[in-house]
Structure 1
Amino acid sequence: MKQFLTGKIKFYSKDKGYGFIYCKARSQDYYFNINNINNGDIPSANDIVIFNTINNSKGISAVDITITSKANSNKSLKEDSRVICNKCKRKIIPRIIFQNGRAMYSVCPFCGRTYKIFINFYISLFIIFLGILLLFIFFIKIFN
């Protein structure tokens, strides 16, 4: 049977996706990766967590991490700008992909699935229709 420990997020880097949990009972810091968070929440400093440990090549790391109490629990749900990915079911902030200086689509930072396409289909259809109409008018004037 796994023995879960209780700890507090000491540090977490959103850019690098890793951090450290301090366990007061063992007076020890444990390394963790964002992929080891169970419920898809983004950790922040002073969040209370329960976790298990595993011994790997880098030492003892925290795994099976569940955030039980957020440090900023007074935030309302409206302030949470994250959305749920349809594929991996995690809360995400989609990453926007640009092409030639224009936002083309956004993707999930965890699984890479396309979240939203920014090119409006109807606007594209209208532009194509307008181009065909102008070509038609041009050819009518040439052959008359």
Structure 2
Amino acid sequence: MEKLLNTYVLPAGGLEEVARHFQMSDLTLPFWGYRKKMPMYQIVRLEGEGNYTRFHFNDGSELMVSLTLKKMETRLPAGLFVRLHKKNIVNLMYLEDIQYDQQQMTVGLANGDQVDVSRRKANQFIKQVQDFQQEIRSLNGIPLVASA
């Protein structure tokens, strides 16, 4: 696979500062008979499974909620969370690399997940990544590390 775009990884300490900059609040998720607040910046990606959405967090934990991925997408900040195809939304704060191989684009995330990007969404995705990284570079005090 060929590396498509130089990406910059946020250090762990920079995540909270970026979350403050983008005014990321906690996300209230429904559970059996109650609701629970989860820090939005800790979400690495969301994976749609029918009428359910599986959350993958930066500590390796996962959580399933009974809301569709489409419904969850409306509750997330568009500049940070990007829908790559019909089953996955990723948090750009955890993007490590973007690779391209024979018309298939794949992103690597900080938790080790590899997610394919649909051909239809590829150009929009690259533009969103560039805009996000430009805004991150403009923040003072957050060192960025170029991914290998």
Q: With a CA cutoff of 8 Å and minimum separation of 6, indicate the structure with the bigger relative contact order.
A: 2
| Larger CA Rg, structure 1 vs 2 | 1
Shared fold (TM-score greater than 0.5)? Answer: no
